[in-house]
Structure 1
Amino acid sequence: MSARPLVLGSTSRYRRELLERLGIPFEVAAPGVDETALPGEAPAQIARRLALAKAHAVAQRFPHAVVIGSDQVADLEGEPIGKPGTHERATQQLRLMSGRTVVFQTALAVVCRETQYEALDLAAVRVSFRSLTDAEIEAYLRAEQPYDCAGSAKSEGLGIALLDAIDNDDPTALVGLPLIRTCRMIRAAGVKVL
């Protein structure tokens, strides 16, 4: 059992489900952070800034806790691709990524105000999409409706059929919370993992 409470600063059900795998008690708190990219901001910069902002926003309300913040931005040759929100935007995103490699930049921040602990890391996942037909894109979107996922594809579901390859060092990073890094960082912050 951890001596410090653990709080996930996220409204993402995917991140909550991933963190549950560790079997550590935690609370969830919405960070309420504006996720708009700044002018000229690169995808990795966006992800890092937002992960840290989310962790700090929640840590203000839970100063004794170890707080996790995370953000993911799809990076297509330097251009950020966010959550589509609609079927039409998801169709456009998948057409754009068809036959190309996209780097999913997943940033992770861990903060504890009381101990002044702060750590920030980035897991970059290279994803090669196969060439997709409009019929395949439509069938996928109708089946999975991934409108709340950066890049419109859920690799943990049917979205895996859209891909040729995934290259990374943390298989959970693509889903939205790199658990290998999370374990390392929360241990360093004083949370007992095992």
Structure 2
Amino acid sequence: MSSQDAAARLRGLSLPLVLGSSSKYRAQILRDHGISFSVQVPDIDEKAITTHPDDRAQSDPAALVLKIAHAKADRLLVQETTAKSPPAQQTDSHPSSDAVQNPPHLLVCCDQVTVFDGQIREKPVDREECRRYLRSYSTTKPAETYSSVVVVNTATKQRAEGVDIAKQYFHPVPDAVIEQLIEKGDVMYCCGGFLIDDDLIVPYLAERVGETDSIIGLPLQLLASLVAKVC
């Protein structure tokens, strides 16, 4: 199934799609493919979640992104339940307006990390770390993205999960371009400190193994297959 086929399936859903993410890049993937959706943002501390008892950076990347995506889904389901709950003094049998505004839907939560040379990389903590990340990609080693997707059918409570792994190789990125990317700012909000659809970095992209939408953060083929499991 191609990304185009996946998008066609997602455009024909019988339940509304809710993207549980604040990522403008994931939202843009859905918009670019004509997929209708709304957005809810989970209130969680991602940095507090780990799969390694001593060092979060040593976590298994696939297990980590799945755990975070599930935590986002769990939190949003709680937030929805809280929003639907009528005030304590309400005793009539009519549903609250909040309940009416939250019909059954497909909740989609995601997470992503980049792995380079065996080390997990998340969003750069500062400009210097982003600079170090971008310079390091000027080797023969790829940046590997681990993108998790969790889909919950809120009508049936069925849940499906998956992780897609993609690889991006780079040509050496000149320091002047690195500084432009950092000054522009978008790379500071991307795990691994790079954004493959930024015009500044496009000339320095080499071989890609996997789908573009996966590297950006929302693998459509995986999403479509998970939706099929819960619908």
Q: TM-score, normalised by structure 1?
A: 0.85
69-78 or 56-65: which moved more? 56-65
Residue aligning to 1:56: 74
Structure 2 residue identity aligned to 1:157: D
Residue aligning to 1:130: 171
Rounded Cα–Cα distance in structure 2 between residues aligned with 1:92 and 1:56 = 35
Residue aligning to 2:3: none
Change (3 A) 1:134 1:189: same
1:25 aligns with 2:25: no
125-134 or 104-113: which moved more? 125-134
After superposition, give the CA deviation of every residue in 1:29-81 in whole Å (9 maximum; x if it has no partner). 00122211523312222211112222232233168321001111001133111
Gaps of 5+ in 1: none
Other structure's SS at 1:183 match: helix
Which aligned pairs between 1:138-177 and structure 2 lie closer than 5 A? Answer: 138-143=179-184, 145-158=186-199, 159-168=201-210, 170-177=211-218
Rounded Cα–Cα distance in structure 1 between residues aligned with 2:43 and 2:146 = 21
Contact 1:111 1:117 in 2 (8 A): yes
Contact 2:160 2:229 in 1 (8 A): no
Tell me which protein shows more strand as a share of its residues. 1
Structure 2 residue identity aligned to 1:26: F
Contact 2:21 2:41 in 1 (8 A): yes
Which aligned pairs between 1:1-194 and structure 2 lie closer than 5 A? Answer: 2-36=13-47, 37-38=49-50, 39=55, 40-60=58-78, 61=80, 64-99=104-139, 100-143=141-184, 145-158=186-199, 159-168=201-210, 170-190=211-231
Contact 1:129 1:163 in 2 (8 A): yes
Give me the CA root mean square deviation. Answer: 2.2
1:15 deviates by 0.8
Change (3 A) 1:162 1:153: farther
Other structure's SS at 2:169 match: strand
Contact 1:48 1:71 in 2 (8 A): yes
Change (3 A) 1:114 1:146: same
Contact 1:85 1:148 in 2 (8 A): no
Contact 2:148 2:161 in 1 (8 A): yes
Tell me which protein shows more helix as a share of its residues. 2
Contact 1:55 1:67 in 2 (8 A): yes
1:96 deviates by 2.7
Rounded Cα–Cα distance in structure 2 between residues aligned with 1:177 and 1:109 = 11
Change (3 A) 1:141 1:119: same
Other structure's SS at 1:172 match: helix
Structure 1 residue identity aligned to 2:229: A
Structure 1 residue identity aligned to 2:68: L
Identity of aligned residues (%): 26
Change (3 A) 1:11 1:143: closer
